[in-house]
Amino acid sequence: MSLPKFIEIKQYICSQIEAGKWLEYCQVPSENQLAKQFACSRMTARRALTELCQQGTLVRTQGLGTFVAELKSQSSLLEIRNIADEINERGHGYSVLQLSLETRPASAKIAVVLGVEPESLVGYSELVHCEDGYPIQLEQRYVNARLVPQYTEQDFRIQTPHHYLSRVAPLTQATHTIEAIAADNEMAQHLTIKLNEPCLQIARRTWSSQGVVSFALLTHPGSRYRVGGELHINE
């Protein structure tokens, strides 16, 4: 089955950028040019450009056109790092339990956050990351199978999902929310804490240049984990 035209256009633009043919701040073809090239309506071409602008791949300047954006590693003040590296840098031992690695139908919510059709198959992994043998993070991650088709074929006891995804679908944008929650039965069991113990949960969505790559829920025992950051302000 052929892809919708707007997806073809997005893939074409991303391929030109990734191949180094269109560099940062390079102007991309107009809606009219793309519509003619791909034999589609101007509205279809506009949708492709608009979605790439929303993802941060392109930037639109009123009256001038649409340009390749400056690539940034993330959109948050908090650095996104490999949890194994963090633990090792503290001089502690890292280990992981792989609880689940499978494909499953996307629920209505997951379909929206990944930008896929409801009930389409997505990759899913569930891991417990440990520091010196103590669980400090329950990672529940959904992955866009169209962009990362071999996700469920990996062994995340050897490399973390973060490390694998950074290699096959380099991060261009990320958003996340952080909230305090009470551990349910499943969380308490996996994190070896008491039921309803306070936890810190980070909901993180990441993009590559081709679209939304993954959505992860990262749950930490409040007694074993904290989030910090450093902001430099130029006077």
Q: Which residues have a Cβ under 8 Å from the Cβ of 152 and sit 6 or more positions away?
A: 101, 102, 103, 123, 124, 125
CA angle 212, 217, 219 (to 5 degrees): 155
Average pLDDT over residues 47-70: 83
What is the CATH number assigned to the segment(s) 5-68?
1.10.10.10
pLDDT higher than threshold 50 for residue 231: no
Q: What is the predicted pLDDT for the residue at 194? A: 94
Tokens of 120: 């389409």
Confidence (pTM): 0.66
What pLDDT shows up at residue 178?
A: 86
Which residue do the tokens 């891991």 mark? 127
| Domain 83-221 = CATH 3.40.1410.10 | yes
Percent of the chain with pLDDT over 70: 91
Token pair for 226: 């904290």
Mean pLDDT of all residues in 136-156:
96
Three-class DSSP labels, the chain: CCCCHHHHHHHHHHHHHHCCCCCCCCECCCHHHHHHHCCCCHHHHHHHHHHHHHCCCEEEECCCEEEECCCCCCCCCCCCCCHHHHHHHCCCCEEEEEEEEEEEECCHHHHHHHCCCCCCEEEEEEEEEEECCEEEEEEEEEECCCCCCCHHHCCCCCCCHHHHHHHHCCCCEEEEEEEEEECCHHHHHHHCCCCCCEEEEEEEEEEECCEEEEEEEEEEECCCCCCCCCCCCCC
pLDDT in tens, 197-230: 999 999 999 999 888 999 999 999 987 766 655 4
Q: How far apart are the C-alpha atoms of 170 and 206, rounded to whole Å?
A: 10
| pLDDT at residue 155 in the model | 96
Q: Report the pLDDT value the prediction gives residue 74, as an integer from 0 to 100.
A: 31
Whole-number average pLDDT of the chain: 87
**Torsion angles phi and psi, residue 65, rounded to 5:** 135, -165
The pLDDT of residue 78: 47
Q: Which whole number is the average pLDDT over 141-155?
A: 96
pLDDT band at 68 (very low <50, low <70, confident <90, very high): confident
Distance CA 171, CA 157 (A): 22
214-222-79 Cα angle (round to 5): 45
Domain residue spans in the chain?
5-68, 83-221
Q: Dump pLDDT digits (tens) for 11-28.
A: 899 888 877 888 877 899
Instruction: Please tell me the predicted confidence (pLDDT) of residue 227.
Output: 62
* pLDDT value at residue 9: 93
Percent of the chain with pLDDT over 90: 55
pLDDT digits (tens, 9 = 90+) for 75-128: 334 467 788 888 887 778 899 999 999 999 999 889 988 988 999 999 999 999
What integer pLDDT is reported at residue 79 of this predicted model? 62
